[in-house]
Structure 1
Amino acid sequence: MQNKRILLSSRPSGRLDDTNFELRTEALPALADGKARVRVVYVSLDPAMRGWVSSATNSYLPPVPLGDTMRSLGIGIVTQSCCEGLAAGDWVTGFTGWTEYLDVDEGQLTIVPSTVPMEAYMGVFGLAGATAYHGLVKVGKPKAGETLCVTGAAGSVGSLVGQIGKALGMRVIGIAGTQEKCDWLVKDLGFDAALNYKTDDLDAGLQAFAPDGIDVHFENVGGRPFAAALRNMKAFGRIVMCGFISVYNGDKTEEVPDMTAVVRRRLTVKGFVMTDHFETYPEIFKALGDLLQRGQLKYRLDVVDDLENAPAALNKLFDGSNKGKLVVKVSGPEAARAM
C-alpha cells in the first residue's frame, strides 16, 4: 500500500508556493503493535499555518522542522488497529498533517461521534468553532444589548463569532472584503450590518451603526479594519485579539493603529490561542451543538479536492478568495466511502 504526504522543504519568504513543499510517495510498512492506522479524509487550512512554517521559535508551537510532514489539523477514520483504545471505523481528529495515512498511538488523536457529517468537525465543531466561542464568550465577556464588531467577518471564525453574538442578544457589525461576503453576512447569517473595507468608509460606517462606540471588538485581520475599530471603541471596551492575517506573509500594514486609544478609553486588550484551552472543548462543542440545533448557527466550507492541491489552496486565505472554512478533501476511494 502506498502513502502520499507533503513535506516542508524550505521556509518561505512572503507567500507560500509549491517550491516550499515536496510531495512524497512511499510504501506503508506493516502496522506495529500498539498503533492504529488512520485514513485522513479532511485536512484544515488555517492562517496560523503560515507562522508554523517560519523559523520563529518564540511562538506557541515550535516551527515545523524541514523535511517533516506539514502540520495541520484533520479528521479521518481508523482503518486498522493494534491498540485497545482505537477500533477500525472510529472517527478521529487532531494534528494529522498533510498525509493520506498516519499511524498513531492511543490518545494521539481524539475519537469523535459519527452522529454529524464529518465535515462539521472542520467547521463548527472544529478549531474554528472553538476559537469563535472561546474568544467571544470567555475572553470578550459579551452582554446582551452590547455592540460587537468583527473583522474577517466572512471567514470561518468571524462568521461564527457574529452569529454567536446575535444568539447572545448583541448588535453585530461585520467587516469583510467583498460585497458578496457583506451581503451573505446580513442576509444569510443575520448580522445587523456589514462594511466592505475595500470600498466603504469604515469610520463613517462604524459611527453610523454604533454612535456610542463598540463594546466588544473581535480582531482577525489587522491593518485598516483594526485601526478603524480601535478609533471607534467605547470607553472600557474589550478587544479580543485572535489574528493578524494581513501581515502573516511579511506584508507591511496599510495603517498603523493608534494604540494611545487603549489608554485614553481604558480598553482591555487580550490575545489567545486555542492550543492553551483544549480542556474546554467538550463544554464549547456542547454549547455550539445547542446553537446549531436551535438554528442559530450556519457554516459553509470551501472544499478543495486532492492533497496535492493543499499548498496552492492555502494562499486563498491570504487573498480572501475562500468562501467559508477552507479545507482539503484528501483524495482516494476510502475518503469517498467515508462520506
Structure 2
Amino acid sequence: MSTYKAINLVKRPDGNIGPELFEVVEKTVPEPADGEVLIKQAYMSLDPAMMGWMSSDTDSYIPRVELGDVMRSSGIGEVVASNNPDFAVGDQVMGMFGWQEMFLTDGTGMNKIDKDLPAEMALSVFALPGLTATQGLYGYGDPKAGETLVVSGAAGSVGSIVGQLAKADGLRVIGVVGSDEKADWIVNELGFDGAVNYKSDDLGAKLDELAPEGIDVYFENTGGPTQDAVFERMNAHGRIVVCGMIADYTAETPRPGPNWMRIVKKRLSIQGFTMPDHRHKTRELQAKLTPYVQKGQIKYRAHVLEGLESAMDGLGMFLTGENKGKLMVKL
C-alpha cells in the first residue's frame, strides 16, 4: 500500500520557529471518491503569514491551524487521479494543499494554471505574492505618477513586486531591506530609486536623503523601527497600506504604535488588509498584473529548498532575513 509524508503542527511557537513545532507523519495514499481529485504536490509556498496561523490567536482574519492538523500552505501540483469532471489527470493546479506530498480535494478553491508556466514563476508572481501586492497597492495605496513610495521588506516576494509596479507607474520608489546584497538587488536589478538597510543605516537620515520631499505611500510589511521613521515623514493625505508586521509575529510584547496626532495633522489614510478577503478577485488581480509581466517590468527570484521536511527549518528564515526571494519548497 502506497504512503506519503505530511507534517503536522504539534506545538505553538514561543518566539522560535523550528522543527520542534512539527511532526512528520506517514499517511496512506487515498483513492478519490466521486467528485474528488488527488493532487501530487510539486512546489509548496512558505509565507510569513504562516507564523500568525500557527499562533494561539483565535481572533484573527483566518482560523489558526489546530494542533495535530497538517500545517497550512499554498502550493502547485499535478492531478494524478480524478473523479471530478472539472479536472483531468495531468492538469497543473494551484491551491491550499498544506505541508504534504499528496492532497485529496473536491476541487473547491483550486485553480488550473497553464502547464507551460514554470511553477517557480507561478508561486513567485501569480500566486499569493503578486495578488497581495496588486490588491494592496491599487486597492488601497492609490499610487500616482510623481509620488514617492516606500516599501518595507522590499526584497521579499510581496515588497519586490509592489516596488516594481509602482516604478512602472512612474513613482519614485524607496525600498527598506536588511542587507547590502538585497539593497544592491532592488536598486540595480529591479530599478528601485534607492534602498535603506535598516540594520546598518541611520533610518531617518537615509530616508531624508532618498525622499527629501516626504513620502506619499507606505507599503508596510515588517513593522519595527522602520514604521516609526516612515510615519514621521508621511506627506499630507498620504496612504499607509498595512500588509504585514513580521517584526511582531513572534514578539512577546508588540511594539507600541506611533502617536495618532500625525494622522490628524497630515490627514493620513491607514488600511490593513489580508488576501483571504479578496480571493474572489483572483482572476481580476492576475489580469491587472499580467501586462506588467509581459512587458518585462516584473522580475523575481525564487529561494528553493529541497524536500518536504526542509520547510520545518526554512520557515524561520523569515525572522533572520536569510531568504533571498520567494521562499518555497520543491517536493
Deviation, structure 1 residue 3: 0.8
Change in Cα spacing, 1:29 to 1:210, as seen in structure 2 (3 Å) is: closer
1:333 aligns with none
Correspondences of 1:206-221 after superposition (within 5 Å): 206-221=207-222
Change in Cα spacing, 1:102 to 1:270, as seen in structure 2 (3 Å) is: same
Tell me the secondary structure at the aligned position of residue 240 of structure 2: strand
1:244 aligns with 245
Deviation, structure 1 residue 222: 0.6
Unaligned runs of 5+ in 1: 331-339
- Mapped to 2, the partners of 1:168 and 1:46 lie a distance apart of 27
Deviation, structure 1 residue 250: 1.7
Change in Cα spacing, 1:254 to 1:198, as seen in structure 2 (3 Å) is: farther
2:122 aligns with 121
Correspondences of 1:150-299 after superposition (within 5 Å): 150-250=151-251, 252=253, 257-299=258-300
Tell me the secondary structure at the aligned position of residue 191 of structure 2: coil
Change in Cα spacing, 1:253 to 1:3, as seen in structure 2 (3 Å) is: same
The yes-or-no answer on 1:319 pairing with 2:320 is yes
- Mapped to 2, the partners of 1:177 and 1:258 lie a distance apart of 26
Instruction: Give the TM-score normalised by structure 1.
Output: 0.94
2:301 aligns with 300
Deviates more, 1:129-138 or 1:278-287: 278-287
In structure 2, what residue type is equivalent to 1:83?
Answer: N
What is the CA deviation profile of residues 302-321 of structure 1, one whole-angstrom value per residue up to 9, with x for unaligned ones?
Answer: 00000011111000011100
In structure 1, what residue type is equivalent to 2:18?
Answer: D
Kept after mapping to 1: 8 A contact 2:178/2:198: yes
Kept after mapping to 1: 8 A contact 2:243/2:272: yes
- Mapped to 1, the partners of 2:173 and 2:116 lie a distance apart of 32
1:69 aligns with 70
- Mapped to 2, the partners of 1:125 and 1:106 lie a distance apart of 19
Deviation, structure 1 residue 12: 1.6
- Mapped to 1, the partners of 2:256 and 2:141 lie a distance apart of 24
1:84 aligns with 85
In structure 1, what residue type is equivalent to 2:12?
Answer: R
Deviation, structure 1 residue 61: 0.8
Tell me the secondary structure at the aligned position of residue 277 of structure 1: helix
Q: Please tell me the root mean square deviation across aligned C-alpha atoms, in Å.
A: 1.3
1:335 aligns with none
In structure 2, what residue type is equivalent to 1:156?
Answer: S
- Mapped to 1, the partners of 2:4 and 2:316 lie a distance apart of 25
Deviation, structure 1 residue 113: 1.7
2:149 aligns with 148
- Mapped to 1, the partners of 2:292 and 2:224 lie a distance apart of 32
Deviates more, 1:51-60 or 1:26-35: 26-35
Kept after mapping to 1: 8 A contact 2:78/2:91: yes
1:97 aligns with 98
Deviation, structure 1 residue 82: 1.2
Kept after mapping to 1: 8 A contact 2:79/2:90: yes
- Mapped to 2, the partners of 1:232 and 1:252 lie a distance apart of 26
Deviation, structure 1 residue 159: 0.6
Sequence identity, in percent? 47
Deviation, structure 1 residue 251: 5.0
- Mapped to 2, the partners of 1:242 and 1:122 lie a distance apart of 18
- Mapped to 2, the partners of 1:160 and 1:30 lie a distance apart of 40
- Mapped to 1, the partners of 2:184 and 2:91 lie a distance apart of 39
- Mapped to 2, the partners of 1:109 and 1:308 lie a distance apart of 24
Count of residues paired in the alignment: 330
- Mapped to 1, the partners of 2:133 and 2:127 lie a distance apart of 10
- Mapped to 2, the partners of 1:57 and 1:238 lie a distance apart of 29
In structure 1, what residue type is equivalent to 2:87?
Answer: L
What is the CA deviation profile of residues 125-153 of structure 1, one whole-angstrom value per residue up to 9, with x for unaligned ones?
Answer: 01000111111111101001110001111
Unaligned runs of 5+ in 2: none
- Mapped to 2, the partners of 1:120 and 1:192 lie a distance apart of 25
Tell me the secondary structure at the aligned position of residue 324 of structure 2: coil
